[in-house]
Amino acid sequence: MSIGPVEYMIVGFPGNQFNGEIAPALADLITSGTIRILDLVFIAKDGDGNHVAVEFDEHDALAGFGDLDGDVGGLISHDDIEYAAEALEPDSSAALLIWEDTWAKPLVDAMRASGGVLIEGSRIPHDLIEPALADLEVVS
The domain segmentation of the chain, as residue ranges, is 6-104
Please give the single-letter amino acid code of residue 105: K
pTM above 0.85, yes or no: no
- Predicted local distance difference test score (pLDDT) of residue 15: 84
Q: Please, which pLDDT band fits residue 51 given cuts at 50, 70 and 90?
A: very high
Determine the 3-state secondary structure of 123 from DSSP. Answer: coil
d(CA 97, CA 94): 10
